[in-house]
Homo-oligomer: A and B are copies of this chain.
Amino acid sequence: MANQPAFELFAFWRSSATFRVRVALQLKGLSAHERIVDIDGGEQRSAAFLAINPLGGLPALQVDSGPPLTQSLAILEYLEELQPDPPLLPSDLLGRARVRSIAAMLASDTHPLITPRVKKYLTTSAGFDDAAWRAWQVQWFTTGMTAVEQRLASDAVPGKFCHGDTPTLADVCLASVIAVMRVFKISVANIPTIDRVMAACDAHAAFAAADPMRQVGAPAR
């Protein structure tokens, strides 16, 4: 995009929600300067970052010198409106609702359950040990993926992605959750439609470029 706004993306290598924005920027041909917020070091809870996002979550996207945008779904919709081509939502109303619904099943009803702030509460205030936290992660990844699998299979739309032959916000959110599942070495069985869609995402340059393991700060493979 010619003359795009100046983007500063507050990011971390492993962050699932940051992955979504990285993929969308790639798909739209937009670029952002990344500023690392070290989640493992608790930097998202620093006063400096809480002034940017009072929920202490990544990503945040500063546009020129304005107040930072937060919440990945809001940022994705912003990028879609700023740079409509290529579209990440279909053109028909019901199709758009389907794509946004699948995106929200993952970004709203799955991922928020396994964020650092939830881990902190469960391990410090609720007595979860490593095994209990792992079981919690597996529970919600499995619930979310199994439900998305049923959705994709029951009201199937032809094409190699979730909704046709080009990526949409549904694929961006699906791949974002799978990406952190891979980091945590968690897999869910019996999701053949998702596996097929993920093969298409993995083969797409925009998704490959957002692979957590390829980001600054990622551990060596």
Instruction: Give me the interface of A with B, judged by CB distance under 8 Å.
Output: 50-51, 53-57, 63, 66-67, 69-75, 77-78, 81-82, 93-94, 96-98, 100-101, 103-105, 107-109, 112-113, 115, 117-118, 121, 125-126, 128, 132, 135-136, 139, 143-144, 146-148, 150-151, 154-155
Q: Whole-angstrom distance between the alpha carbons of A67 and B135 in the complex?
A: 33
* Copies of the polypeptide in the assembly: 2
Q: Are A101 and B63 in contact (CB under 8 A)?
A: no
Q: Whole-angstrom distance between the alpha carbons of A147 and B167 in the complex?
A: 32
Q: A54-B151, A94-B66 are in contact. Are A101 and B74 (CB under 8 A)?
A: yes
Smallest beta-carbon distance A80→chain B, Å:
10
Smallest beta-carbon distance A54→chain B, Å:
4
Smallest beta-carbon distance A30→chain B, Å:
13
Q: Which residues of B contact A75 (CB under 8 A)?
A: 97, 101
Which of B54, B73, B128, B150 contacts A147 (CB under 8 A)? B54
Smallest beta-carbon distance A66→chain B, Å:
6
Q: Whole-angstrom distance between the alpha carbons of A54 and B203 in the complex?
A: 28
14 A-B pairs with C-beta separation under 8 A: A54-B146, A54-B151, A55-B109, A63-B94, A67-B98, A71-B105, A71-B108, A73-B73, A73-B108, A78-B100, A81-B93, A82-B93, A109-B115, A125-B135
Main secondary structure, interface of A, reads: helix
Q: A126-B128, A147-B55 are in contact. Are A73 and B94 (CB under 8 A)?
A: no
Q: Are A109 and B73 in contact (CB under 8 A)?
A: no
Q: Are A74 and B51 in contact (CB under 8 A)?
A: no
Q: Whole-angstrom distance between the alpha carbons of A109 and B144 in the complex?
A: 15
Q: Whole-angstrom distance between the alpha carbons of A150 and B67 in the complex?
A: 13
Q: Are B55 and A69 in contact (CB under 8 A)?
A: no
Q: Are A100 and B113 in contact (CB under 8 A)?
A: no
Q: Which residues of B contact A98 (CB under 8 A)?
A: 67, 69, 74
Q: Which residues of B contact A151 (CB under 8 A)?
A: 54, 70
